[in-house]
Amino acid sequence: MFKLPLKYMGFDGKEREKDFYFNLTKGEIAEIHMSLPGGIDGFLDTLSGNPEPADVVTVFRTIILKSYGKRTPDGKFYKSKELSDEFAATDAYSELFLKFLDNDDDFITKFMEGTISAPIGTIQKILEDNPKIEEAKAALATEF
């Protein structure tokens, strides 16, 4: 789980600072990986080249909104489309999205490492343990 303090402007014109929480499960990582041409690793490689801006926006938005959730006082972590939509409507989301675009101090890597609720190397392990993921990805690509 990744705790990220963000400063942002509220709609009342007042600057706010709040902690936001992000987490991706192994299943969510596999889902994101399967949805990207070349997988997550391929996408990260294209960031250093000349990626299509629309693709970058889509991937960043997906990663942010799939990982966003709220912690409860008893230590649980909840995510839902409604919570993601609520977060996406705030200036805090805009500030986070700009952090992704700037990628100062390798922010994306730090975010991903903090957000993944599994040991480093999980994506590779998921793929090694589940060769059917690549087959499913190829099948989906031919259907659409």
Q: Which residues, 6+ apart, have CB-to-CB distance to 119 below 8 Å?
A: none
pLDDT at position 67, please? 94
Instruction: List Cα–Cα distances, 4 to 15, 23, 56, 85, in angstroms.
Output: 16, 11, 21, 18
pLDDT at position 81, please? 95
Q: In order along the chain (144 residues), what is the average pLDDT of each group of 10 residues? A: 93 93 88 79 71 78 92 92 95 93 84 75 55 48 43
Which residue range(s) make up the domain with 111? Answer: 2-143
Q: How many domains does the chain have?
A: 1
- Coil, strand or helix at 8: strand
